[in-house]
Amino acid sequence: VSQFDTAQIVADDKRHFHHPFQLIDLMREEGEGALPFFKADGCYLWDTNGNKYFDAVGGMWCTNVGASREEIARVMYEETIKASYINPFVDMTHPSGVTLAKKLAELTPGDLNHTLFTVSGSTATDDAYRLAVAYHRCRGNFNKTQVLSRNKAFHGSTFLTQSFCGKANEKPEYFNFLSDMVHFVSAPNSYREGAGKTPEEFKTELLQEFEDKILEVGPDNIACHYAEPVYGGGGCFVPPVGYHKGIIDICHKYDILYISDEVVTAFGRLGHFFASEDRFGIVPDIITVAKGLTSGYIPMGACIFSDRIYDALASEEGRFTIVGSTYTAHPVAAAVALKNIEIIERENLLEHVREIGPYFQEQLNTLKDLDIVGDVRGSHFMQCVEFVKNKETKEIYPDEFDIGKRVSLHADALGLIVRPLINLNIMSPALTMTKEEVDFVVSALRKAIELTQ
Ligand code: PLP
């Protein structure tokens, strides 16, 4: 017998708990409501009725080492009784923050040696913009304030960063207050925009579009370009080979900073600590992280930036670059991040993802024989299935049909959590997922799709 009154929790949730993105998710508002979970362990979740699920979403792309590890809980406890808070502003510091910043300098590529800690991915995106604008001002370029982003990109939900996102339905006009300052180019979507082209042709077309956009806006007006190495919530697009290298070269030709948004891709999801260099061969000017930095045990994000930016900021103009807040580099979060990185290294989780990732992809690809599966794409432990009404024409279901949600509800009943996003089901499991668990995920998803179509 469950110790929880599930019906009451659901009713109270509907009445009092306003969820992120709730107003976009109309089914949650009008439908049966949110499913309450009370326990998480490794890759598994338990709902308040006692049912067990495999969490193929990894929380919200974040439980990289798996949930509820005792050794991380112990670090939180020990750090808290030692120093529950230490002021991070310039006159004071603490060993866990310093050790983490130094470790990140070792793990990141090139001369990315400086970490500005934040409390989330959105605030890391936000601060990266401030650093970029300040960098240009310090070098006398006062007009370089505008931003290049990509259609369907997701970079955050603060008032500022919402404007950098490329999904129209998440960006109502009245909150898109920077709309004149943010310019969008195409997503590297090989399934749709790239259809009928070779990867090389598609890459050349995307690079040309990017350079044309810079010339149209005026290079002297552009501060930075944001890009996820592999798209997250936009739909797991993996760009054609050479795309990121081509884009960063164009950025540097026009003195535009390249900001790699590794909020999802860092800390193992693609089989490396950082995908920028190890997977795509680029050294960005700034890398933003969050999520896998602490595996979701406690909020923390970071903006890791280059010596070049650091040196430029050390000027009279740079004095006014006000960044950081009360919880910057919180000692408990920093200690958790260090333990999290130690676990990734000790358990060889990067190698594990590089070994199991291709198998996960191969098995998911077998779903392509189903009538409503238009595409399966992604890389390693970031994958998605795109549903279509008509495979030949790639016609999509209307948004209100909510095909992704329909499939995910069947998956729930089979003990599998996937993330519905309109016409997609997204998966980003903990890095510990085994081959047997891959087999479970793919067979449960197949059944869920068969029950839907
Ligand atoms: N950037 C990317 C690529 C993300 O996927 C997300 C969140 O999903 C963010 C930034 C924002 O991170 P947060 O939700 O921690 O603010």
ipTM: 0.99
Residue that has been written with the tokens 């659901």 in this structure? 10
Judge whether 145 and 223 are in contact, CB under 8 Å: yes
The rounded Å distance from CA 175 to ligand 1 centre is 18
Just give the CATH number of 72-346: 3.40.640.10
Q: How is the chain split into domains, by residue range? A: 6-65+348-452, 72-346
Q: What is the pLDDT of residue 24?
A: 65
Cβ of 155 below 6 Å from ligand 1: yes
Segments of the chain with pLDDT less than 50 = none
Judge whether 404 and 425 are in contact, CB under 8 Å: yes
β partners of residue 293: none
The rounded Å distance from CA 393 to ligand 1 centre is 32
Cβ of 120 below 6 Å from ligand 1: yes
291 CA closest ligand 1 atom index: 15
Cβ of 228 below 6 Å from ligand 1: yes
Cβ of 122 below 6 Å from ligand 1: yes
The CATH T-level fold of domain 6-65+348-452 is Aspartate Aminotransferase, domain 1 (3.90.1150)
Site to substitute for ligand 1 among 129, 155, 288, 428, most atoms within 8 A of C-beta: 155
- Predicted model pTM: 0.97
Q: What is the pLDDT of residue 322?
A: 80
Cβ of 125 below 6 Å from ligand 1: yes
For ligand 1, atom 13: residue with the closest CA = 121
DSSP state of 419: E
Instruction: Please name the residue ranges forming H helices in 347-415.
Output: 349-365, 403-413
The rounded Å distance from CA 122 to ligand 1 centre is 6
Reported residue count of the chain is 453
Nearest-angstrom CA–CA distance, 446 and 368: 10
In 3D space, the residue among 405, 295, 402, 411 whose CA is nearest the CA of residue 51 turns out to be: 411
* CA quadruple 47, 365, 270, 284: dihedral sign: negative
Nearest-angstrom CA–CA distance, 350 and 269: 8
DSSP annotation string for 60-74: HHT-TT-B--HHHHH
Q: What is the pLDDT of residue 32?
A: 75
Q: What is the pLDDT of residue 316?
A: 81
228 CA closest ligand 1 atom index: 3
Say yes or no: do domains 6-65+348-452 and 72-346 share a fold.
no
Nearest-angstrom CA–CA distance, 317 and 184: 30
Q: What is the pLDDT of residue 167?
A: 83
